[in-house]
Chain A
């Protein structure tokens, strides 16, 4: 098991405020609850069948050192299409269809972190560049398997929302280190499809882990097919996680997760958000990246789940 006690001592203390899409000018916010060191995931009640893709594709545990030449190769596309999107953990991952106030459409990826809460990148819910502010509405489609609207490709139908949250460091400055957000749902779709466990692992704990990223890219299947890729963590900074995992536009907001060992459940440690252009040159790697789930981010994610009614047994 990963020790949780030291995780809150690794990063300098910052104050991260939750920001919600206003539903009325008089909305007031309750004080945020304290975050747990780790949250518990749930496989979902829909079926108990085990995904073969989970066994064959998902990487687990830590790897040994990778030889330096491999660390600059990212242009070989190693993504695999997931066909068992009705099974965990794939069904916890959702295609997002965003729409802005000006009618602008966009696609992204989200993932359940609680019965009624879907985590995603901050820019999927709020972006001055893409929406001129908050998105107007987002359709959440768990486990989407292809184009169309019938149950064959939408095993868990879909649900739309107009309630979103992000953090002040994103909405005020669009700071890539804090590019996180969430979608609040009106129905507990997560009870059916399940949700990821969350943990704020320290940089020391993250180094060497094999990470998984799965989402809905625009260049394959028109954003309607789920693709998974995996590799080793290359670098960890105070607030970001860098990895050589193939991704593309549309996979913003996808979960970045690890498995502690062969038998352990998926544990989300970051929110995929940036391609190689988002990697500082002084790191000396060609890599994609995610804001890490640092303790302050975990506190906000926990707060958002609590606002939606919390986890069973809370």
Chain B
């Protein structure tokens, strides 16, 4: 989402740091600004590039159904 809380579609989300090997793929957020993936146990830093800038979030894997929120431009 952006700083106002509006969804950011077509943002590209990558894992830029992790305590376990993670592939260098980038996920694309959908029209609701959402993306989904499973995570193994470990610590992960997500970075999103989208309209309005860049955002990061640190996440501890891997409980299912946990929401990751990345504020772009924040």
Contact = CB atoms under 8 A, between A and B. Distances in A.
Contacts of A217: 26
B14 A105 contact: no
Contacts of A108: 25-26
Contacts, number: 99
Contacts of A222: 10, 12, 49
Kindly name the residue among A129, A252, A273, A278 whose own CB sees the greatest number of chain B CB atoms within 10 A: A129
Nearest to A249: B14
Nearest to B14: A249
B23 A273 contact: yes
Interface residues on A, range: 35 or more
Most chain A CB neighbours (cut-off 10 Å) among B10, B14, B16, B26: B26
Nearest to A122: B23
A223 B26 contact: yes
B69 interface: no
A130 B27 contact: yes
A251 interface: yes
Given A130-B37, A250-B12, A274 B23 contact: yes
Contact of B25 (A103, A128, A250): A250
B20 A277 contact: yes
Given A128-B38, A129-B39, A222-B49, A272 B24 contact: yes
Interface centre among B17, B19, B36 (most CB of A within 10 A): B36
A123 B38 CA distance: 13
Contacts of B12: 107, 218-219, 222-223, 249-250
B36 A277 contact: no
Contacts of B15: 249, 277
A248 interface: yes
Nearest to B62: A129
Given A129-B37, A249-B14, A249-B15, A278 B28 contact: no
A250 B19 contact: no
Interface of A: 102-108, 121, 123-124, 127-130, 132, 176, 179, 217-219, 222-223, 247-252, 272-275, 277-278, 288
Given A127-B25, A217-B26, A252-B25, 8 more contacts: A107-B12, A128-B38, A218-B12, A219-B49, A249-B16, A249-B25, A277-B21, A278-B23
16 contacts: A106-B27, A107-B12, A121-B23, A123-B25, A124-B25, A217-B26, A218-B14, A219-B14, A249-B13, A249-B15, A249-B26, A249-B47, A274-B24, A277-B17, A278-B21, A278-B23
